[in-house]
Amino acid sequence: MGEKVYEVRKVKDAGKGMPLIGDEFPKMEVQTTQGMMKLPKDMKGKWFVLFSHPGDFTPVCTTEFVAFQKRIDQFQELNVELIGLSVDQVHSHIKWIDWIKDELGVEITFPIIADTGKVAKTLGIIHPSKGSNTVRAVFIVDPRGIMRAMLYYPQELGRNIDEVVRMIKGFQVNEERGVAIPANWPENELIGEGVIIPPAADVETARKRLAENKCYDWWFCYIPEEQK
């Protein structure tokens, strides 16, 4: 635990399976509703969340896009950019986001990748039983272009966007302070908004931590919210 420094594993065989946590995000040039983009180059210095959806003009996907847009300020405060993706042409994306604005009163301000299937294949997000539709995937990528987390959902279950926000906050606290993040943080059932101190590696440190910190035992010490 503590600050995680990944040994970067470069993806040499694009399209040979999904990238893994700790991999470099595959280099690609993509067509979006806001023009051409080079990933991860254009996002250097920023976190970004790339999320795929099965298709435009579908109800669950529409609720997800609205939910992402409603939280755009939260993402921007965390230095995070959003990027959508599906195997649809760019004009379909444009018509769909126009419909969302006209009918639901929500303007989608983040770019959406118009994929021919190449990006989906590279990221491993085409399920064999779902034809050419992309699965509901979320990729969280850090400012160095490293994959930090991946989430996959079935077509019938929409995503919890607040969990994506929570994960990025947790990653940033981990990197800033070298601590681990408990379940359901910041509303953990045992330590509330507290964070976990990495386990001691020797007897002396273990005893010192018991004396200096709040602990359930030497291997479970934490920093409570009031001391953060």
How far apart (Å, rounded) are the C-alpha atoms in residues 146 and 139?
10
Of 43, 61, 135, 167, the catalytic one is: 61
How far apart (Å, rounded) are the C-alpha atoms in residues 159 and 91?
25
Q: What is the DSSP string of 33-88?
A: TTEEEEETGGGTTSEEEEEE-S-SS-HHHHHHHHHHHHTHHHHHHTTEEEEEEESS
- Assess whether 221 carries a catalytic annotation: no
- Tell me the β-bridge partners of 220: 217
How far apart (Å, rounded) are the C-alpha atoms in residues 69 and 106?
8
Structure tokens at 109: 């301000």
DSSP H or E segment with residue 216: strand 214-217
Catalytic machinery residues: 61
